[in-house]
Amino acid sequence: MSDATKTELHARCVKVYPLFERLWHWAQMALIMVLLFTGLAISGIHSLVPFGPAVMLHTVAALTLLALWVFATFWLFTTGTWKQFIPKIEGLIEVAKFYAWGVFKGEEHPYKKMFWRKHNPLQAATYFGLKWFVFPAIWSTGLLYLTYNFWADSVGNASFWIWVIANLHILSAYVIAAFVVVHVYMLTVGHGFRSHVKPMITGYDEIELTAEQEAYLETNEPGRLR
């Protein structure tokens, strides 16, 4: 960007995360935590919850999360937000370079949040991978695991298949756990933990708007500006 265009931008407090998206995010966070915790209990890695209650809680949390995902999918497509999650190569390398190198030298994060594009390219690619591969892997194996008795009789060697399903389920769960570790850590990089978490709570983030964007929002969606 040239200096000329930069001067035209105004930093404004814009609502980037609507209420539903925030509810979705935090409910999903809580449910995933419950699922990881009870899942570890079911695996036998800890016994802080007895096996029976762990299975019940895991099942209820999983079904709740599935329901939430149904709503979220509906919301993503009706509001057009799905476009935010389509990964783009543009800028991806810069962001990756920043995390791998630039951040150690105190460089600025190369990505500027735009009100029509709230995730940086690396973030968008990660979420895309989660949504299209890891989450489907966890819920499809989970549902198959849960409904074992409905299909066991109609396949040969059901005990082999349940073993495969269980292992894929466990593996997907650990991928999600690894994601959580990195995801939480990433909040500390760049503008800092608080400024990264705050928008997901209040919905508002500091975004540099062009004069046209500002004028549009002021006229048509004044509620999104603060």
Partner 1 sequence: MLKRTITALGFAAVLGGIFAAAAADAQQSQPITSTADHSKFKILQQDFKSGPEVTEACVSCHTQADDQFMHSIHFTWEYDHPTTGQKLGKRNVVNAFCGNVVGNEARCTSCHAGYGWDDMSKAPQDQEVTADCLVCHDTSGQYTKTSTGAGHPPLDPVSPKAKTITGAKAWAVDLVKAAQSVGAPTRENCGNCHFYGGGGDNVKHGDLSSALYNPSRDVDVHMSPDGENMTCATCHVSSQHQWSGSRYNVMASDAHSATLKPGERRDVATCQSCHGTEPHPSSLMGAKLNNHTDMLACQTCHIPEFAKGGVPTKTLWDWSTAGKLDAEGKPIHEDNYTSSTGEKLHTYLSTKGNFDYGENVVPYYAWFDGQVEYTTRERNIDPSKTVEVNAIKGARGDGVSRIWPFKQMQGRQPYDSVNNKLVFTHVWGPDTDTALWTNFDWAKAIEAGMKAAGEEYSGEFGFVDTHMYWPITHMVAPAEQALDCESCHAKDGRLSGVPGVHMPGTRPFGTASLLGIAMVLAAIAGVLAHIALRIIGRKNREH
Q: Does 181 bind partner 1 (CB under 8 A)?
A: yes
E strand residue ranges, the chain: 10-15, 204-209
Of 7, 78, 149, 154, the residue at the interface with partner 1 (CB under 8 A) is 149
User: Does the protein bind partner 1 through residue 174 (CB under 8 A)?
Assistant: yes
The token duo for 50 is 């007895």
Among 71, 148, 151, 216, binds partner 1 (CB under 8 A): 148
The reply on whether position 50 binds partner 1 by CB under 8 A is yes
The reply to whether 29 sits near partner 1 by the rule CB under 8 A is no
Residue from 8, 43, 73, 82 touching partner 1 (CB under 8 A): that is: 43
173 binds partner 1 (CB under 8 A): yes
CA dist 172 and 111 (Å) reads: 30
Residue from the set 10, 20, 47, 201 that interacts with partner 1 by CB under 8 A: 47
CB 129, CB 86: distance < 8 Å: no
CA distance 140 to 21: 24
Q: What is the C-alpha to C-alpha distance for residues 222 and 5, in angstroms, rounded to an integer?
A: 24
* Residue labelled with tokens 């990505």: 111
CA dihedral for 106, 112, 118, 121, sign (positive or negative): negative
- Residues binding partner 1 (CB under 8 A): 42-45, 47, 50-52, 55-56, 59-60, 99, 103-106, 148-149, 152, 158-159, 162-163, 166-168, 170-171, 173-175, 177-178, 181-182, 185, 189
